[in-house]
Amino acid sequence: MAALIAPSMLAADFLHLEDAVQTVNAYADLFHLDIMDGHFVPNISFGFPVVESIAQAAMRPLDIHLMIRHPQTYIERFCNIPGAGMLSFHLDATREDPEPILGIIGNAGVKAGIAINPDIPVEKLFPYLDLCDFVLIMSVYAGFGGQSFMEETYGRVARTKEEITRRGLATRIEVDGGVSPKNARQLIECGVDILVAGSAVFKAQNPAEVIAAMRGE
């Protein structure tokens, strides 16, 4: 079993962003980009110009993780960025029905996902599993890089995987927050398909080695 690895650019050196992209270009499966608005989460990250610049250098699809209120307002614009491959928004970031939002993402040719923070029961995702290409189960509270992995994530992933399997769906599971070679194997065993890792990759001496170790090769 192997997982896709999505380095989170939030942990990159923003003064040398192109170097950071090049560091992982040959090893990453996806580029995870965290968009924070200062409302849905108490932090602000980066926006369109930065995403578009990363897109120019990235050789792999962009995995855009929206941590913004009213995500529907910006979804089309993000989907239209060349290289956008996956886009997720948080279930509780909008009062609107997620179904049409997932439809807009899918119609743009981008894989659609719903994200949830650790305090939201994974069962809340279940009604949407057949509409999502993937679900993003946060293993820290969204908002900041460099936090500690929450151990309850294993059980949350396993319950979600069980439901996906029971219903014969192809929905993929992504985990984000505090992911490193220490927990990657167990996450993959529980059913994770995509591992997001920021600090573990970009603060490492040898990011390529860390990516290979997490992939389960």
207 forms part of the interface with ligand DX5 (CB under 6 A): no
In 3-state terms the chain splits into helix, strand, coil percentages (rounded to 5) of 40, 20, 35
Identify residues 136-165 at the interface with ligand DX5 (CB under 6 A): 140, 142-147
97 classed as catalytic: no
Q: Pick from Zn ion, ligand DX5, none: which does 90 bind, CB < 5 to 8 A by kind? A: none
Q: Dump the DSSP string for 25-58.
A: HTT-S-EEEEEEBSSSSS-B---HHHHHHHHHH-
Q: Choose which of 65, 156, 161, 172 interacts with ligand DX5 (CB under 6 A).
A: 65
Question: Quick one: 32 or 215, whose CB is closer to ligand DX5?
Answer: 32
Q: Pick from ligand DX5, Zn ion, none: which does 198 bind, CB < 5 to 8 A by kind? A: ligand DX5
Distance from C-alpha of 106 to C-alpha of 85, rounded to nearest angstrom: 10
Q: Smallest gap, in angstroms, from Cβ of residue 191 to ligand DX5?
A: 19
113 forms part of the interface with ligand DX5 (CB under 6 A): no
Task: Write down the catalytic residue from 29, 37, 63, 176.
Answer: 176
Distance from C-alpha of 113 to C-alpha of 181, rounded to nearest angstrom: 24
Distance from C-alpha of 118 to C-alpha of 179, rounded to nearest angstrom: 14
Distance from C-alpha of 144 to C-alpha of 132, rounded to nearest angstrom: 25
199 forms part of the interface with ligand DX5 (CB under 6 A): yes
Strand partners, 32: 8, 63
Q: Choose which of 30, 196, 213, 214 interacts with ligand DX5 (CB under 6 A).
A: 196
Tokens of residue 110, six digits: 């981008």
Kindly list the residues in this chain that would bind Zn ion in the complex (CB under 5 A).
Answer: 34, 65, 176
Active site residues: 34, 176
What is the contact surface with ligand DX5 in residues (CB under 6 A)?
Answer: 8, 10-11, 32, 34, 65, 140, 142-147, 176-179, 196-200
